[in-house]
Amino acid sequence: MAYTSFFRDTDALNAISDLVIPAISHARSIRVWDAGCATGEEPFTLAILFAAKLGAFHFRNLDILATDYEESNYAQFEERIRRAEYSRQDVFWVPAAHRDQYFEPAESPEAFRLTAPIRERVRYLKHDLLTLVPPETGQSLIVCKNVLMHFSPADQVQVLEMFHSALLPGGFLALDGNQAMPEAFSARFPRVERGTPLFQKPVG
Protein backbone atom coordinates (compact mmCIF):
# COMPACT_ATOMS: atom_id res chain seq x y z
CA MET A 1 0.00 0.00 0.00
CA ALA A 2 1.33 3.42 -0.93
CA TYR A 3 1.96 5.78 1.96
CA THR A 4 0.36 9.19 1.92
CA SER A 5 -1.23 11.68 4.30
CA PHE A 6 -3.08 14.99 4.36
CA PHE A 7 -0.87 18.10 4.21
CA ARG A 8 2.32 16.14 3.52
CA ASP A 9 5.40 17.88 2.05
CA THR A 10 4.64 21.38 3.24
CA ASP A 11 7.32 23.01 1.02
CA ALA A 12 5.45 21.99 -2.12
CA LEU A 13 2.06 22.82 -0.62
CA ASN A 14 3.19 26.28 0.50
CA ALA A 15 4.59 26.97 -2.96
CA ILE A 16 1.31 25.92 -4.56
CA SER A 17 -0.71 28.04 -2.15
CA ASP A 18 1.51 31.13 -2.35
CA LEU A 19 2.67 31.07 -5.98
CA VAL A 20 0.50 28.83 -8.15
CA ILE A 21 -3.05 29.49 -6.96
CA PRO A 22 -2.81 33.31 -7.26
CA ALA A 23 -1.34 32.92 -10.76
CA ILE A 24 -4.13 30.69 -12.11
CA SER A 25 -7.05 31.69 -9.90
CA HIS A 26 -8.94 33.64 -12.57
CA ALA A 27 -8.66 31.06 -15.34
CA ARG A 28 -11.95 29.96 -16.82
CA SER A 29 -10.87 26.35 -16.27
CA ILE A 30 -8.38 25.39 -13.52
CA ARG A 31 -7.19 21.88 -14.29
CA VAL A 32 -4.92 20.01 -11.88
CA TRP A 33 -3.45 16.54 -12.33
CA ASP A 34 -2.25 14.74 -9.20
CA ALA A 35 -0.11 11.92 -10.58
CA GLY A 36 0.31 9.30 -7.86
CA CYS A 37 -2.66 10.10 -5.63
CA ALA A 38 -2.82 6.80 -3.65
CA THR A 39 -5.91 6.89 -1.42
CA GLY A 40 -6.81 10.52 -2.01
CA GLU A 41 -5.33 12.50 0.85
CA GLU A 42 -3.11 14.52 -1.48
CA PRO A 43 -5.69 15.57 -4.13
CA PHE A 44 -8.17 16.44 -1.38
CA THR A 45 -5.44 18.50 0.32
CA LEU A 46 -5.04 20.36 -2.97
CA ALA A 47 -8.80 20.93 -3.17
CA ILE A 48 -8.77 22.34 0.36
CA LEU A 49 -5.88 24.70 -0.50
CA PHE A 50 -7.77 26.00 -3.53
CA ALA A 51 -11.02 26.34 -1.57
CA ALA A 52 -9.25 28.36 1.11
CA LYS A 53 -7.75 30.74 -1.48
CA LEU A 54 -10.51 31.04 -4.06
CA GLY A 55 -13.97 32.46 -3.71
CA ALA A 56 -16.89 30.11 -4.30
CA PHE A 57 -17.33 31.39 -7.87
CA HIS A 58 -13.77 30.57 -9.00
CA PHE A 59 -13.62 27.34 -6.97
CA ARG A 60 -16.31 25.92 -9.25
CA ASN A 61 -13.80 26.14 -12.12
CA LEU A 62 -11.43 23.68 -10.40
CA ASP A 63 -11.12 20.14 -11.74
CA ILE A 64 -8.62 17.81 -10.03
CA LEU A 65 -7.77 14.57 -11.83
CA ALA A 66 -6.31 12.10 -9.33
CA THR A 67 -4.50 9.14 -10.88
CA ASP A 68 -2.58 6.14 -9.64
CA TYR A 69 -1.63 2.68 -10.79
CA GLU A 70 -1.13 -0.28 -8.48
CA GLU A 71 -2.64 -3.56 -9.60
CA SER A 72 -3.40 -4.88 -6.12
CA ASN A 73 -4.85 -1.65 -4.72
CA TYR A 74 -6.26 0.61 -7.42
CA ALA A 75 -9.87 -0.49 -6.76
CA GLN A 76 -9.40 0.43 -3.10
CA PHE A 77 -7.89 3.78 -4.11
CA GLU A 78 -10.93 4.56 -6.27
CA GLU A 79 -13.37 3.55 -3.51
CA ARG A 80 -11.58 5.64 -0.87
CA ILE A 81 -11.65 8.70 -3.10
CA ARG A 82 -15.29 8.17 -4.07
CA ARG A 83 -16.31 7.90 -0.42
CA ALA A 84 -13.86 10.61 0.76
CA GLU A 85 -14.09 9.16 4.26
CA TYR A 86 -11.10 9.08 6.60
CA SER A 87 -10.36 8.09 10.17
CA ARG A 88 -9.55 10.45 13.01
CA GLN A 89 -5.91 9.38 12.68
CA ASP A 90 -5.95 10.12 8.93
CA VAL A 91 -7.04 13.73 9.49
CA PHE A 92 -4.63 14.37 12.37
CA TRP A 93 -2.37 16.66 10.29
CA VAL A 94 -5.22 18.70 8.81
CA PRO A 95 -5.12 22.20 10.36
CA ALA A 96 -8.00 22.60 12.80
CA ALA A 97 -9.63 25.43 10.86
CA HIS A 98 -9.64 23.38 7.66
CA ARG A 99 -10.88 20.28 9.49
CA ASP A 100 -13.79 22.23 10.94
CA GLN A 101 -14.71 23.81 7.61
CA TYR A 102 -14.14 21.03 5.08
CA PHE A 103 -14.91 17.82 6.99
CA GLU A 104 -18.12 16.52 8.53
CA PRO A 105 -18.88 13.48 10.71
CA ALA A 106 -19.19 10.28 8.69
CA GLU A 107 -21.61 7.43 9.29
CA SER A 108 -18.80 5.30 10.67
CA PRO A 109 -17.85 6.19 14.23
CA GLU A 110 -14.57 8.07 14.66
CA ALA A 111 -14.51 8.90 10.93
CA PHE A 112 -14.82 12.10 8.91
CA ARG A 113 -15.98 12.79 5.36
CA LEU A 114 -14.97 15.64 3.10
CA THR A 115 -17.81 18.06 2.46
CA ALA A 116 -19.62 17.84 -0.87
CA PRO A 117 -17.99 20.92 -2.49
CA ILE A 118 -14.54 19.40 -1.89
CA ARG A 119 -15.54 15.88 -2.97
CA GLU A 120 -17.04 17.16 -6.20
CA ARG A 121 -13.80 18.77 -7.35
CA VAL A 122 -11.80 15.49 -7.36
CA ARG A 123 -12.20 12.55 -9.72
CA TYR A 124 -10.16 9.36 -9.97
CA LEU A 125 -8.69 7.54 -12.96
CA LYS A 126 -6.41 4.53 -13.07
CA HIS A 127 -3.30 5.52 -15.04
CA ASP A 128 0.20 4.12 -15.41
CA LEU A 129 2.74 6.93 -15.84
CA LEU A 130 5.05 4.60 -17.75
CA THR A 131 2.62 4.41 -20.64
CA LEU A 132 4.05 7.90 -21.29
CA VAL A 133 0.64 9.02 -22.56
CA PRO A 134 -1.06 11.68 -20.41
CA PRO A 135 -4.66 10.85 -19.47
CA GLU A 136 -5.60 14.44 -20.31
CA THR A 137 -3.82 17.56 -21.51
CA GLY A 138 -4.35 21.27 -20.90
CA GLN A 139 -3.30 21.12 -17.25
CA SER A 140 -2.66 24.26 -15.20
CA LEU A 141 -0.76 22.33 -12.51
CA ILE A 142 0.69 18.84 -12.26
CA VAL A 143 1.64 17.48 -8.85
CA CYS A 144 3.87 14.40 -8.69
CA LYS A 145 5.44 13.80 -5.30
CA ASN A 146 7.37 10.78 -4.06
CA VAL A 147 6.80 8.90 -7.30
CA LEU A 148 9.62 9.63 -9.77
CA MET A 149 12.21 8.40 -7.28
CA HIS A 150 10.96 4.86 -7.95
CA PHE A 151 11.74 5.14 -11.69
CA SER A 152 15.03 4.77 -13.53
CA PRO A 153 16.74 7.99 -14.66
CA ALA A 154 15.71 7.28 -18.26
CA ASP A 155 12.09 6.73 -17.26
CA GLN A 156 12.12 9.90 -15.16
CA VAL A 157 13.12 11.93 -18.23
CA GLN A 158 10.37 10.37 -20.34
CA VAL A 159 7.73 10.97 -17.67
CA LEU A 160 8.85 14.60 -17.35
CA GLU A 161 8.55 14.89 -21.13
CA MET A 162 4.96 13.66 -20.82
CA PHE A 163 4.24 16.18 -18.05
CA HIS A 164 5.66 18.96 -20.22
CA SER A 165 3.33 18.01 -23.08
CA ALA A 166 0.32 17.83 -20.74
CA LEU A 167 0.81 21.30 -19.27
CA LEU A 168 -0.50 24.52 -20.71
CA PRO A 169 2.16 27.12 -21.55
CA GLY A 170 2.95 28.79 -18.23
CA GLY A 171 1.65 25.74 -16.34
CA PHE A 172 3.31 24.55 -13.15
CA LEU A 173 4.91 21.28 -12.02
CA ALA A 174 5.26 20.52 -8.30
CA LEU A 175 7.62 17.75 -7.21
CA ASP A 176 8.78 16.67 -3.78
CA GLY A 177 11.81 18.33 -2.26
CA ASN A 178 14.01 15.26 -2.76
CA GLN A 179 13.45 15.08 -6.51
CA ALA A 180 16.07 16.88 -8.60
CA MET A 181 15.19 18.21 -12.04
CA PRO A 182 17.41 16.53 -14.66
CA GLU A 183 19.83 18.91 -16.36
CA ALA A 184 18.15 18.24 -19.70
CA PHE A 185 15.02 19.95 -18.40
CA SER A 186 16.61 22.96 -16.72
CA ALA A 187 15.48 25.30 -19.51
CA ARG A 188 12.18 23.58 -20.21
CA PHE A 189 11.19 23.48 -16.54
CA PRO A 190 12.93 26.39 -14.77
CA ARG A 191 12.49 26.57 -11.01
CA VAL A 192 9.93 29.20 -10.03
CA GLU A 193 11.63 30.29 -6.82
CA ARG A 194 14.88 29.21 -5.23
CA GLY A 195 14.40 26.63 -2.51
CA THR A 196 10.97 25.47 -3.69
CA PRO A 197 10.19 22.19 -5.52
CA LEU A 198 8.08 24.14 -8.01
CA PHE A 199 8.82 24.46 -11.74
CA GLN A 200 7.09 26.21 -14.63
CA LYS A 201 6.74 25.49 -18.33
CA PRO A 202 7.77 28.66 -20.20
CA VAL A 203 5.06 30.53 -22.05
CA GLY A 204 7.07 30.97 -25.24
pLDDT digits (tens, 9 = 90+) for 122-150: 999 999 999 999 999 999 999 999 999 99
Q: Between the CA of residue 203 and those of 21, 167, 193, what are the distances in Å?
A: 17, 11, 17
pLDDT digits (tens, 9 = 90+) for 46-83: 999 999 999 899 999 999 999 998 765 656 778 889 99
The distance of Cα 118 from the centroid of its chain, to the nearest Å, equals 14
User: In angstroms, rounded to a whole number, what is the distance separating the alpha carbons of residues 49 and 56?
Assistant: 13
Domain range summary for the chain, segments of one domain joined by +: 10-200
pLDDT of residue 179: 86
pTM, entire model: 0.94
CATH classification code of 10-200:
3.40.50.150
User: In angstroms, rounded to a whole number, what is the distance separating the alpha carbons of residues 89 and 111?
Assistant: 9
Residue whose C-alpha is closest to residue 67's, from 13, 17, 118, 133: 133
Q: Between the CA of residue 106 and those of 35, 43, 84, 111, 153, what are the distances in Å?
A: 27, 19, 10, 5, 43
Whole-angstrom Cα Rg for the chain:
16
Average pLDDT for 159-169? 98
